[in-house]
Every structure is written in structure tokens, then in C-alpha cells.
Amino acid sequence: MALYDYDLIVIGSGAGGSVAAHLASKAGLSVAVIESGTIGGSCPNVAEVPMKALLQAAEIYEAAKHGGRFGIRGGTVGYNYPSIKAWKDLAVRRTGTHIGAEVFTNEGINLIQGSAYFIDPHTITVGVARFSAKHFLIATGSELALPSIPGLANSGFLTSHEAINLTRPPRRLAIIGGGSVGCEFTQLFATFGTKVYLIDSAPRLLADEDPEASTLLGERFADQYSVTLRLNTTVEQVEKIGATRRLTLQTGSKRQTIIVDDILLATGKKAVVDIGLENAGVEYDEGHILTDYYMQTSNAHIFAAGDCTRPYALTHVSTYQSRVVAHNILHPKKRVMVDYRAVPRCTFTNPVIASVGQSETELKHAGRGYVKASVPISVVGKANISDTSEGFVKIFASANTGVLLGATVVSPSADEIIHELTLAIQNSLTAQAVANTIHAFPTWSETIRVACAKLAKV
């Protein structure tokens, strides 16, 4: 008789959980997946996939409007937002999440709908049912962290989940939060004519990215889309006045009010940890489950992956962590550690901002000797034929060895060309090695070669 009901129980069907579940099942383990919400988690349903589908529509609309410089008559181009939403819904449907239960069943994985709660280190409950497992993977994801702003809850607000399902753009919108999510929604709605007020308590947008990228994006928002930026600013109060909201803003000693039709919160998320972790002996701190480099929690047979852990809340990192968990469960004598040296990060604005590796701030804080080179994207032929000049490539390398350490790319298709630098950093390549690599003409990737050549002085 089996000691446990399953070899592995995975709590959460998103990227952090489903990858390990599939790999473990294919290797012959008995696996169950417990999901309290929508199968597939946030990414395909309410986050990256629908958001990027909407941004794709916005990009095409903007390109059509400004096609005159290429001889394309786009002055009368318009849009139908319900049709744009329908396109977004189609993109979500094509991910296959609506048949997720069938996929799990066909692979022999038992899908259990409901909320899991640990009652001891090897047992969880889902409703009145109990299930035990030799191993657990916690991939519960994250939820909105609601800021404590007087009047906000009573006045009403949008989350990103609601914002992607609007049938028309708001006329006036306050976005609270200047990180990637806030900037992407600013790009989306401002492109379709919304008057956007972008508010953040930080001194610049995208506070974790390169300052030059933040400055460029802020200026483009203001100049090209008439976005009103309110940085170093806190929202002191929100009041509902009829169908509108009045926000009281504090910037240093200056106080002002703005009137908008909607408020969108983009203030970050917190991990979902209310699953009886104390009963399982799993430690967590400030809302994140603590793991080691093998993705094990403080209880060795319980792993965690995805947004409920640190240090990144990115789908591709969740997928990577989930693969590491599966490997370490299947091969306990040949365990592998996570390696975050080369994690690409992308903000899908216009232009796209992408980065990988260590930033200049991190290098300075670590006291590491480095050299850097920066080139504008206007130096390559692709800029000429695209009539695009806003952007740059900035690269950091070890002062002693020339090995690449970090980079930021602000450019059309930066989300694609960043992977050359990701590969280079992951494999400890030097700037000279990349500079000596033939790059096709005319492409945006040539800026990588030019920057590396400048850095290596070749």
C-alpha cells in the first residue's frame, strides 16, 4: 500500500506549477494539481498574454496613424475598441487554457479544483477532502497589494484584470504606479486617446531600470502622448464625486487635485501565502515564501516556485524555477541550483525597454570594477530605413576580463534582441567575442555589435 496518495502535489496551475507537474508526470510520478482559480494562472488569462495582445493592437494603430512619412495615407485611420477586446479574447483562447483540465487529464495528472490548506507537512485539505504527498510544490502566485489610501476602496478602482476587459478606453485615467505594469497601461490607453495621469512616489519611472531609459520613456510619454507625470508624488486621498474621482496629490510641499473618470492600480502584488504554511513548517517573510538555491523551502520535501517566491515576478522565471524543481525532485543526487545571472526583463512600451544582468547601480553597490559603453540606435542603418532614432544600447563589462555583466536596450524589438546579450552573459562571453560576431545588415541587433566594439575598443 502506498504511503502517500501522490508522489507530487502541485498547488497552482500557472507557469510555476504546471511545468513541473508535466515533467514529473512524464517521468512516471503520480501527480495532482490543485487550482483555486482559473486553470493556467495569471499569465495567459489576465496578465501577459492579454496585455501584450492589446499592446500589439495599439502598436499597429499607431503605426497606421503615422504612416504618412512613408507615403502611406493613414490620416483617417480609426479603431473599434470592442473589436480590439475581441482580438485580445481570441489571443487568450488560442493559448489553450480553456481546455487546461483536459490537457492535465490526458497526461494522467489529477486536477483538483479548490483551495489547498496544509494540516501537516505531508497533508493538505481541499474542502472536506484530504490528500497526502511525498513532495509538494507551492506555486500559488500573487495577488494585488492594495495601498492604504483614504477613500480609495469606497471610490472604486480598476485592477489590471478589469482594465484589460474594458470595452472602451477611459476618457481620463489616473494610473497609480510607475513600474512596468503602470507604464504598459499608460502606453496602451494613451495611444487610444485617454488622458493619462501617471503617479508614482519614486523619483522616476521604472525605478529598477537604467535612469537614462526612465528619462527617455518619461519624455516620450509627455511629448508624444500628453501624459501628465507626477513623480515623487503620493496620493493623499480619493473622493468619489458622481461618476468621477477626485485625487489629492502631494508632491513635496505642493498639494493639488485632479479629476478623473477611473483609477487604475499598478502598485505591485503580494504573494499568496495563506495556505497553512505554519502547519507545514514552511517559512515565509514579508509575504514571500523563502527558498534556497534548489527551490526548496525550510521543509526539504516542499518546494516553491513562481511569484510566491523571490527574487523575480516574471513568467519566464517561474517557468525556469519550475523546471529546476522537477529536476531536483526527479534527480535528488544530481540537484541543480537556480542561476539568475542573466534574467531578461522587458517593458513593452514604445520603444521597448529591455535589460539583463546587473545594472550600474548594482555594480557600484557590489564594488565591482566595470567599464561601460553606450551607443544611440541611430548609428545603425535600420534606424534610417525605419525613421526611428529614439533609443540606445548600454553595456557593462568587467574591467579586468571584458566579460559582459549587464545591459539595457531601448529600441524597437528590444524584447527580441536582448536575448543575444542574455546568452552572452549566461555563458560569460566577452564584449570582444560579441563584437567579432557577424551581425546581419540592416537590423537593430547591429547596435549590440557596435556597443560591444566600443567597449572592447576593436
Per-chain mean pLDDT for the chain? 96
Q: Which element (helix H / strand E) includes 31?
A: strand 31-35
* Band of pLDDT at residue 359, cut at 50, 70 and 90: very high
Edge-to-edge strands of the sheet including 228-230?
A: 228-230, 195-199, 172-176, 262-265
Q: What percent of the chain has pLDDT over 90?
A: 96
pLDDT greater than 60 at residue 1: no
**Predicted local distance difference test score (pLDDT) of residue 403:** 98
Amino acid sitting at position 297:
T
pLDDT greater than 80 at residue 236: yes
* Mean pLDDT for the stretch of residues 326-347: 98
pTM, full prediction = 0.97
**Predicted local distance difference test score (pLDDT) of residue 342:** 98
**Predicted local distance difference test score (pLDDT) of residue 76:** 86
**Predicted local distance difference test score (pLDDT) of residue 458:** 64
pLDDT greater than 70 at residue 357: yes
* Mean pLDDT for the stretch of residues 329-358: 98
* Mean pLDDT for the stretch of residues 338-353: 98
Does 345-456 carry CATH code 3.30.465.10?
A: no
Domain spans in the chain, listed from the N-terminal domain onward: 6-48+89-143+270-334, 152-267, 345-456
**Predicted local distance difference test score (pLDDT) of residue 74:** 73
Q: What percent of the chain has pLDDT over 70?
A: 100
The CATH homologous superfamily for domain 152-267 is: FAD/NAD(P)-binding domain (3.50.50.60)
**Predicted local distance difference test score (pLDDT) of residue 358:** 97
* Band of pLDDT at residue 286, cut at 50, 70 and 90: confident
Distance from C-alpha of 263 to C-alpha of 175, rounded to nearest angstrom? 6
Kindly report the CATH class assigned to 6-48+89-143+270-334.
Answer: alpha beta
pLDDT greater than 90 at residue 73: no
Tens digits of residue pLDDT in 174-229: 999 999 999 999 999 999 999 999 999 999 999 999 999 999 999 999 999 999 99
Tens digits of residue pLDDT in 76-92: 899 999 999 999 999 99
Give the residue from 14, 16, 4, 28 showing the smallest Cα distance to 330: 28
Amino acid sitting at position 250:
Q
* Mean pLDDT for the stretch of residues 131-145: 96
* Band of pLDDT at residue 300, cut at 50, 70 and 90: very high
pLDDT greater than 90 at residue 75: no
Q: Are strands 345-347 and 352-357 parallel, antiparallel or unpaired?
A: antiparallel
Tally of residues, the chain: 458
Give the residue from 4, 9, 67 showing the smallest Cα distance to 33: 9
**Predicted local distance difference test score (pLDDT) of residue 256:** 97
The reply to whether 6-48+89-143+270-334 and 152-267 are identical in fold is: yes
Q: What are the cell numbers at 224?
A: 508624444
